Amino acid sequence: MKKTVVIGASTNPERYAFKATQMLLQYGHEVVLYGLRAGQVSGNNIQTTLAHTDGVDTVTLYVSEKNQTAYIPFILALNPKRVIFNPGTESIYFQELCEKNGIEAAEACTLVLLSTNQY
């Protein structure tokens, strides 16, 4: 399964980041969660301090373009295979930066990718 970092994780069941985390776990993927507030989603801690993790396949974004700046160096250092820009997180600048660093930049919805077996 694909180790996935969720940026913008939330304990609020109404948030798409929460729904995506639940679905990723349901499909057997390992998750590493980062958010503004500590908490847990299905027993997985939401970290508020960025810490390197190895073996990341995918980073899925749930923060707007204006809030991505602080995460960009961290995400690039993870060297994931891809970054998913969920609806509302699109950033031409960051997408081009990903591609220049050999990271696939996908404008997609994690929930849709999972539910259609395209993840």
Encode pLDDT of 1-53 as tens digits: 999 999 999 999 999 999 999 999 999 999 999 999 999 999 999 999 999 99
The angle formed by the CA atoms of residues 65, 71 and 76, to the nearest 5 degrees, is 110
5 CB-near residues (< 8 Å, 6+ apart): 31, 32, 33, 34, 53, 56, 58, 59, 60, 75, 78, 80
Give the pLDDT band (50/70/90) at residue 72: very high
What is the distance between the alpha carbons of residues 36 and 48, in angstroms, rounded to a whole number?
Answer: 6
Number of domains present in the structure of the chain = 1
Report the CATH number at residue 49. Answer: 3.40.50.720
Burial zone of 109 (CB within 10 Å; 0-12 exposed, 13-18 middle, 19+ buried)? middle
Q: State which residues form the domain around 21.
A: 4-88
For the chain, the average pLDDT equals 97
On whether residue 42 sits in a domain, the answer given is: yes
On whether residue 44 sits in a domain, the answer given is: yes
What is the distance between the alpha carbons of residues 95 and 100, in angstroms, rounded to a whole number?
Answer: 9
Q: What is the pTM of this model?
A: 0.96
The angle formed by the CA atoms of residues 40, 43 and 118, to the nearest 5 degrees, is 95
On whether residue 26 sits in a domain, the answer given is: yes
On whether residue 67 sits in a domain, the answer given is: yes
On whether residue 104 sits in a domain, the answer given is: no
